[in-house]
């Protein structure tokens, strides 16, 4: 095991079970006749949007007063725009929740010029719906068929802006695994990059959530239109291993580079996180955290999630909060190395 470990998955699972068993005290009419805005820091139709809308269809049944929930898309800066909105503008009464990409949460730790308007350590975490796996992939007609091919040959990848996983992960693989990815930034998100792959503008992309691949492009998976180069996570996913997709740490052979890669990849533990503004009333926090936990074990929600082809591997808000605290206490040596790894 490396010099610095960020997550104890068995401890998280135990904490989640304890959270499910707890029952916060709340006023039955707190949310009566209220409307909650669920702000998605990504484009309509993208993976984060699909998750948020699926959650919105079910969580209201677990909130006393059954408030109306309106989903709003606020893409920009790897969802940091939505984070700034939550920190500076959104009401603190529990009527505003945001779904953020993990890059927005880890960005202030790794960015050279972080947006000081958003501090991920100060917002309140309702929970995360998925602590999943990301992949690197190319379109079926690309000459790059494997990760080993990408280590030997130039591969053109589509990517979003700095702070987005599609950009940062590509550079991380170049620095820690010796790939020769050439990154074309500026795409709005994975939906646009997938179109660029189909048009032949790029070979593929990295940092694509496997759950999003299955929900956005299930036909591509079914018809084998993707070359799955590598799975990226702290631990391999059996589903992908069974498909013959190698795990990233097969290719990261230097111990110091492995530590750096683990720091960047650790953000996937809070892959589908939902936050509240700093200073949100404790009563609202308790209600929403319990509602989130209850939704994650709700049979109707799980059936809907299966229909939408999204992965549900949740963690409760209090545990996510502790993960963030530990992440932001990472020794500077590793943080500095990780900053270099995700740059061109």
Backbone angles phi, psi at 99, to 5 degrees: -105, 115
Q: How far is CA 4 from the centre of its chain?
A: 22
The mean pLDDT of 312-338, rounded to a whole number, is 91
pLDDT at 29: 84
Which residues are registered as beta bridge partners of 39?
72, 98
263-295: pLDDT as tens digits: 999 888 888 999 999 999 999 999 999 999 999
Q: How many helices (H) and strands (E) does the chain have?
A: 15, 11
- Tokens 């070979």 belong to which residue? 203
58-112: pLDDT as tens digits: 999 999 999 999 999 999 888 999 999 999 999 999 999 999 998 899 888 888 7
pTM: 0.72
pLDDT at 234: 87
Distance CA 245, CA 147 (A): 9
Distance CA 180, CA 275 (A): 36
Mean pLDDT score across all residues of the chain:
90
188-197: pLDDT as tens digits: 889 999 999 9
Which residues are registered as beta bridge partners of 274?
99, 127
State how beta strands 35-40 and 68-73 pair.
Answer: parallel
141-190: pLDDT as tens digits: 999 999 999 999 999 999 998 778 999 999 999 999 999 999 999 998 89
Going by C-alpha positions, the residue among 131, 119, 112 that lies closest to residue 338 is 112
Contact, 137 vs 318, CB < 8 A?
no
Residue 7 — pLDDT band, cuts 50, 70, 90? very low
Q: How far is CA 244 from CA 229, 232, 240, 241, in A?
A: 10, 14, 7, 5
Residue 23, pLDDT above cutoff 50: no
Distance CA 98, CA 119 (A): 14
Q: Which residues of 73-85 are buried (b: 16+ CB within 10 A; e: fewer)?
A: bbbbbbbbbbbbb
Collapsing DSSP states into helix, strand and coil, what is residue 141?
A: coil
Helices (H), 93-236: 102-110, 147-152, 165-177, 190-199, 210-216, 218-222
Residue 33 — pLDDT band, cuts 50, 70, 90? very high
Structure tokens at 322: 């502790």
Distance CA 290, CA 317 (A): 9
Contact, 68 vs 308, CB < 8 A?
no
Percent pLDDT > 70 in the chain is 91
Contact, 34 vs 65, CB < 8 A?
yes
pLDDT at 27: 55
pLDDT at 77: 84
Which residues are registered as beta bridge partners of 37?
70, 96
Distance CA 193, CA 202 (A): 8
Residue 313, pLDDT above cutoff 70: yes
pLDDT at 215: 87
Structure tokens at 93: 């009464």
Residue 13 — pLDDT band, cuts 50, 70, 90? very low
Residue 251, pLDDT above cutoff 90: yes
């Amino acid at each position: 095991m490396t010099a610095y470990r960020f997550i104890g998955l068995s401890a998280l699972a135990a904490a989640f079970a304890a959270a499910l068993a707890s029952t916060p005290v709340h006023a039955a009419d707190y949310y009566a006749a209220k409307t909650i805005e669920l702000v998605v820091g990504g484009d309509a139709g993208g993976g984060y949007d699909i998750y948020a809308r699926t959650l919105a269809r079910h969580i209201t049944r677990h909130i006393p007063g059954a408030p109306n929930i309106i989903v709003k898309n606020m893409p920009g800066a790897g969802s940091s725009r939505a984070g700034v909105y939550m920190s500076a503008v959104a009401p603190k009464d529990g009527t505003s929740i945001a779904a953020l990409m993990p890059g927005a949460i880890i960005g202030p730790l790794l960015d050279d010029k972080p947006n000081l308007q958003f501090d991920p350590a100060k917002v309140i975490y309702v929970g995360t719906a998925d602590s999943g796996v990301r992949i690197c992939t190319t379109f079926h007609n690309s000459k790059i068929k494997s990760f080993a091919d990408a280590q030997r040959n130039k591969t053109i990848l589509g990517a979003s802006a700095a702070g987005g996983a599609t950009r940062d992960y590509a550079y991380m693989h170049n620095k820690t695994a010796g790939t020769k990815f050439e990154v074309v930034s500026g795409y709005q998100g994975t939906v646009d990059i997938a179109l660029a792959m189909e048009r032949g503008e790029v070979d593929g992309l990295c940092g694509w959530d496997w759950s999003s691949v299955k929900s956005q492009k299930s036909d591509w998976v079914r018809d084998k239109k993707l070359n799955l180069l590598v799975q990226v996570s702290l631990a391999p996913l059996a589903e992908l291993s069974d498909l013959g997709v190698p795990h990233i740490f097969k290719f990261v052979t230097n111990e110091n580079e492995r530590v750096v890669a683990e720091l960047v990849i650790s953000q996937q533990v809070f892959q589908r996180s939902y936050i509240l503004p700093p200073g949100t009333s404790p009563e609202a926090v308790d209600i929403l955290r319990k509602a989130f936990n209850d939704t994650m074990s709700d049979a109707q929600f799980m059936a809907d999630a299966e229909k939408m082809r999204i992965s549900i591997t949740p963690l409760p808000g209090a545990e996510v909060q502790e993960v963030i605290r530990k992440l932001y206490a990472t020794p500077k040596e590793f943080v500095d190395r990780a900053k270099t790894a995700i740059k061109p």
